Amino acid sequence: MARRSEPPTPQTALHLDPTGVLRAILTRSAVRSYTAEPVPDAMVESMVRAMVSAPSASNQQAWAFVVVRDPVRLHSVRSFAPGVIGEPSLLLVACLDHSRYSDSDGAHVRRQGKLCVAMAVENFLLAAHALGLGACPVSSFLPGPIRLLLNMPDHLELILLVAAGHPATKPNPSTRRDLDEVVRYDGYR
């Protein structure tokens, strides 16, 4: 059985280059046009490792993910996901795993689980960008048919799809609202 490593302390924590991390965050954008080149296994592994490293309320990790790369399955899933534009070589199906909750957990706890899935997806998006790939989260899909196509159990609630692959063109970050418009300090005034 593999031993879990101890969490880093301030003395053993990685010293990351903040400019590289910030550059990845600030330059990531939605990519909706892809080449036919498949995403290599090593890149998929890096993205899913980053994904499951996301914060999780009470460390529930109430998520489950399906990586779809088989071309026939990809085409089938895309048939029920009008929000997937282009032909990605990979689709991530991000789910809330209700089996991780007890009957006493309230609706607010389950809503927190959806936020945790969203944070995991953001890690996936950032990892894809850092690896030179493009990706786009998608909320326009029919969960019932996708659940059947992927043989998914009832306790998994589909939350988001993420289309990913090698960008067909150079991504351009979208325009963001001015900070003065959306950020306040020490109160909303």
For residue 6, report the phi and psi dihedrals to the nearest 5 degrees: -75, 145
> For 108-158, what is each residue's pLDDT tens digit?
777 788 999 999 999 999 999 999 999 999 999 999 999 999 999 999 999
pLDDT grade for 1, boundaries at 50, 70 and 90: very low
Q: Is position 181 within any domain?
A: no
**pLDDT at res. 2:** 47
Residue-wise pLDDT for 23-38, tens only, equals 888 889 889 999 999 9
Helices 41-51 & 107-130 angle (0-180, nearest 10): 140
State the total domains in the chain: 1
The CATH number given to whatever domain includes residue 88 is: 3.40.109.10
Contacts of 173 (CB under 8 A, 6+ apart): 26, 27, 28, 29
- Residue 25 belongs to a domain: no
Q: What is the DSSP letter of 34?
A: B
Say what the pTM is.
0.87
- In which domain, by residue range, is 113 found? 40-168
Domain membership flag for residue 141: yes
Find the range with the poorest average confidence among 11-25, 87-101, 136-150.
11-25
Q: Which helix (H) or strand (E) holds 165?
A: strand 156-165
Domain membership flag for residue 184: no
